[in-house]
Amino acid sequence: MLARIQLSDDEVTQLTGQLDAIVDNIAKVSEVATPDVEPTSHPIAMHNVFREDVVGQTLTTAQTLQNAPDADGDRFRVTAILGEEQ
Amino acid sequence: MSEIIRWTAAELGAKLTAGEVSSVEATQAHLDRIAAVDGDVHAFLHVNEHALDAAADVDRRRAAGEDLGELAGVPLAIKDVLVTTDQPSTSGSRILEGYRSPFDATVVARARAAGLIGIGKTNMDEFAMGSSTEFSAYGATHNPWDLDRIPGGSGGGSAAAVAAFEAPIALGSDTGGSIRQPAHVTGTVGIKPTYGGVSRYGAIALASSLDQVGPVARTVLDAGLLHDVIGGHDPKDSTSLPDAWPSFAAAAREGATGQVLKGLRVGVVKELPDSGFQSGVAGSFHAALKLMEAQGAEIVEISAPHFEYGVAAYYLILPAEASSNLAKFDSVRFGLRVTPDGGGTVEDVMSLTREVGFGPEVKRRIILGTYALSAGYYDAYYGSAQKVRTLIQQDFDAAFAQVDVIATPSAPTTAFKLGEKIGDPLQMYLNDLTTIPANLAGVPGISIPSGLAEEDGLPVGIQFLAPAREDARLYRVGGALETLLVDAWGGPLLDRAPILGGTR
């Protein structure tokens, strides 16, 4: 699943009902979203925001790793990337 | 109870500058208050053990003759959505328990530079998803007016902290009303600035096209003073506006003279009839308008036909953006990691971590968001919601051609009971009916107390909305109405809140 959340059976049952009701309710946006209306992605229009291409203040490796669940000192450590059947 | 905690930030700042009180004394008074009442209120997730050191430092600098700002030495509560180097930052989530940021959010850094004393991190709905703080992974905050009721959300902790005199001012964030709705239910003041008016660098993102950081206070002036400290362009936030902003504290002070109300055109939205509000909320709203009218304001009915689609559009746009923003909680770089029994691949670990680390509302919205963005549904849902955004902006444009500000009640009801709506997401979502349009359109909004509802004696807020970039107008109008109301009441509304820390 796209959301990457392993749900229990109970959660699936409960969420299915709730999400059905929510989706029914929010589908009303299509009533007024006619083809002639332009979509707005951003409330205040801004165009490309550039900065000078120079190295800024960045975090050190130690700072970057300080909250890691697992690391070897230089890198994040994770479990196997591929499963057996892959 | 020390009298220090009853002072506004402006009063405390003046006394600090005059040397009548030290920052250590002021900070200690607030720490004592937290110790006395926060067991009942639970506004704080963390109390800063370095607060007294920071206060002593400000006192030293002041004694050395350094020219410090108006708020130097004043305690500040910080919503836990903002990252801080000297305290943990969890955004109310189990998945970030114990997280220590290697950098400060820009607003935190600016507050620190101005000499404000970060006194603690305040409770909130997990990742700011909620209207009651009941979705905090660390337990709900209780409304100081009635401990069995919600303090609003998501920023219920910040609002309750200032309402309970645990801090004079606080920082909040508002994605669909998370500053203004808590202000409404706690009898306090909250402002959602213009989108881009305050930096969001270091604010743990919920929905990036809606989120805005802003001040929480007991008075309009205090909010303005804090806004002046935190606002303005930040190169670290690409959505931050490069505009030069006027002083909002000056605007609040100017507003307090009342001149602004003469000839002020105040729009009332036809599509938000009284029938949509608890009667005491509507009653308080109309009484406030009458008071403004008596001072020369003109009440004008305006039409905003697309506001009724706001909640629906919001609950498509927000989950879509949140599902993307929260993808970073992947058990690899920071936060919780839960490994299945017998191990598993990175993907297995990720899925189990997110199952264990996220609460129910966060899961609900992530799943809704991934669904709304999925192939085949994108145009019907997310695309349509973005069009509603355009229509709501057009409603605002048309309205602001006729009026200077729009007024609405800040929320449909007064504070409801804890637990009352937690099982019904749709009912919970409707709390933000009047606050959401401002986030969708990027315009600023303020909520100030308008009084107590007749039927239950709980606080009610009135919301004013202004065109984008006209935040100062809200401080003028809010400051004017606040002055009239406080005069009429014979003192601040919070004087009528129950005494905390007594027999309970």
Taking contacts as CB-CB distances below 8 angstroms, the residues of chain A near B344 are 79-80, 83
| C-alpha separations of B10 from B170, B279, B280, B447 in Å | 14, 35, 31, 19
| CA–CA separation, B454 and B486 (whole Å) | 18
Which among B348, B354, B374 is the nearest to A5, CB-wise? B354
Enzyme catalytic residues of B: 79, 154, 178
Give the full edge-to-edge strand order of the sheet including B298-302: B44-47, B117-122, B75-79, B169-174, B212-217, B189-192, B445-452, B459-465, B405-409, B265-269, B298-302
- Whether A30 and B380 lie within 8 Å, measured CB to CB: yes
- For chain A, how are helix, strand and coil distributed in percent, rounded to 5? 30, 0, 65
The reply to whether residue B343 touches residue A80, judged by beta carbons under 8 angstroms, is yes
What residues form DSSP beta bridges with B301? Answer: B268
Name residue B69's beta-bridge partners: none
Model's pTM, two decimal places?
0.97
Provide the number of CB pairs (under 8 Å) joining chain A to chain B: 180
- Contact of B271 with B303, CB cutoff 8 Å: yes
Name the DSSP letter for residue B414.
Answer: S
Chain B partners within 8 Å of A69 (Cβ):
331-332, 334-337
CA B25, B26, B27, B31 torsion-angle sign: positive
Nearest CA-CA distance, residue A61 and chain B, Å: 11
pLDDT value at residue B503: 40
Above 90 in pLDDT, residue A80? Answer: no
Nearest to B215 by CA among B483, B499, B444, B470: B444
CA pair distance B381, B320, nearest whole angstrom = 10
Cβ of A68 within 8 Å of Cβ of B334? The answer is: yes
Contact B83, B178 (CB under 8 A): no
- The residue ranges of every structural domain in chain B are 3-267+402-491, 308-378
Q: Please list, residue by residue across B302-322, b when 16 or more beta carbons sit within 10 angstroms of its beta carbon and e when fewer do.
A: bebebbbbbbbbbbbbbbbbb
Q: Which residues contact B344 (CB under 8 A, 6 or more apart)?
A: A79, A80, A83, B352
Find residue B173's DSSP bridge partners: B213
Q: Which residues of chain A have a CB within 8 Å of the CB of B195?
A: 43-44
What's the pLDDT score for residue A47?
Answer: 84
Contact in structure between B382 and B316 (CB atoms under 8 Å): yes
The three-state secondary structure class of A38 is coil
Please name the residue of chain B whose CA is at the shortest distance from the CA of residue A45. B239
Sequential pLDDT tens for chain B (504 residues): 689 999 999 999 999 999 999 999 999 999 999 999 999 999 999 999 999 999 999 999 999 999 999 999 999 999 999 999 999 999 999 999 999 999 999 999 999 999 999 999 999 999 999 999 999 999 999 999 999 999 999 999 999 999 999 999 999 999 999 999 999 999 999 999 999 999 999 999 999 999 999 999 999 999 999 999 999 999 999 999 999 999 999 999 999 999 999 999 999 999 999 999 999 999 999 999 999 999 999 999 999 999 999 999 999 999 999 999 999 999 999 999 999 998 899 999 999 999 999 999 999 999 999 998 988 888 889 999 999 999 999 999 999 999 999 999 999 999 999 999 998 888 889 889 999 999 999 999 999 999 999 999 999 999 999 999 999 999 999 999 999 999 999 999 999 999 997 543
CATH superfamily of the B3-267+402-491 domain: Amidase signature (AS) domain (3.90.1300.10)
Complex ipTM value: 0.92
* Closest to B151 (Cα-Cα) out of B455, B461, B474: B461
For residue B484, give the 3-state DSSP assignment.
Answer: helix
Nearest to B343 among A8, A79, A81 (CB): A79
